[in-house]
Amino acid sequence: MVSRGSAGGGVAASSGVAVNITTGPMTETEDDMAVGEEEEEVVAASAETEEHVQRILLAIDAFTRQVSEMLEAGHALFKNLAADFEDRLCS
């Protein structure tokens, strides 16, 4: 697959290497290097963001487990209190 630029040269879209059909390999310009650096920053930021998201998910999971344990303990407590109350009423 080749896309045509305004100068009539083709650029290989799937290879990842830019080649001008009329003059040969293209040299990397300062603009291309700046774009490459921006892409690296985005990738680094994405990795850092992914780490933060994972930490948040772990904290949510720990909180959910803690709440679940507290609910189970409360359920057991009320069950015991209900049994004690019933025993006192019947006695």
Residue type, 39: E
Whole-angstrom CA distances from 18 to 7, 52, 86 are 14, 36, 83
Report the C-alpha gap between 73 and 89 in whole angstroms.
Answer: 24
- For the stretch 4-61, pLDDT in tens is 444 444 444 444 444 445 555 555 566 666 667 777 777 777 889 999 999 999 999 9
Tell me: the pLDDT tens digits for 47-78? 899 999 999 999 999 999 999 999 999 999 99
